[in-house]
Homo-oligomer: A and B are copies of this chain.
């Protein structure tokens, strides 16, 4: 983990980086159920899932989001603060054995009128599978200090 100060002015639209990959295992499914308390059979009952269109257990949306975001957590910017997410969409299901990686790209920035000295930076998170399919997208909104 590295610390790197990036002020509002340092963000350029189009900047992007891609993370390493991580295989989503049956263990992750079980851990996520136990952590979240969501034991819906869509995630944990292989017999029930045989009767559904996908034919197998599908990952919790909150897990794809959590691990997708977690993969990006490699650089600390002490002057940026997470504000929230917009337009999170579950595009394709993630199955046991899929390998995901995340790409983040700066897609918008604007100064915050109500909060002088800060800008709002939007970073699009795209979680993709080894097949090339997109599993999840979400727009991460940061509040970033301006250089003084």
In the complex, which residues 67-114 of chain A have their Cβ closer than 8 Å to any Cβ of chain B? 67, 69-71, 73-74, 76, 82-90, 97, 99
Asked if residues A23 and B1 are in contact (CB atoms below 8 Å), the reply is no
Instruction: Evaluate whether A41 and B69 lie within 8 angstroms (CB atoms) in the complex, with A28-B30, A46-B99 already known.
Output: no
Instruction: Evaluate whether A66 and B35 lie within 8 angstroms (CB atoms) in the complex, with A26-B26, A130-B47 already known.
Output: yes
Q: How far is A75 from B34 in the complex, measured between Cα atoms in Å?
A: 17
Residue A25 at the B interface, CB < 8 A?
A: yes
CB A12 to nearest CB in B, in angstroms, measures: 20
Q: How far is A35 from B35 in the complex, measured between Cα atoms in Å?
A: 9
Interface size class of A (residues with CB under 8 A): 35 or more
Residue A21 at the B interface, CB < 8 A?
A: yes
Asked if residues B83 and A85 are in contact (CB atoms below 8 Å), the reply is no
Residue A8 at the B interface, CB < 8 A?
A: no
Asked if residues A35 and B84 are in contact (CB atoms below 8 Å), the reply is no
Asked if residues A88 and B86 are in contact (CB atoms below 8 Å), the reply is yes
Asked if residues A87 and B86 are in contact (CB atoms below 8 Å), the reply is yes
A44 partner residues in chain B, CB cutoff 8 A? 22-23
Asked if residues B85 and A35 are in contact (CB atoms below 8 Å), the reply is no
A76 partner residues in chain B, CB cutoff 8 A? 20, 40-41
Instruction: Evaluate whether A47 and B99 lie within 8 angstroms (CB atoms) in the complex, with A27-B31, A35-B32, A39-B37 already known.
Output: yes
A residues bordering B, Cβ < 8 Å? 1-3, 19-23, 25-41, 44-48, 57, 61-63, 65-67, 69-71, 73-74, 76, 82-90, 97, 99, 130, 138
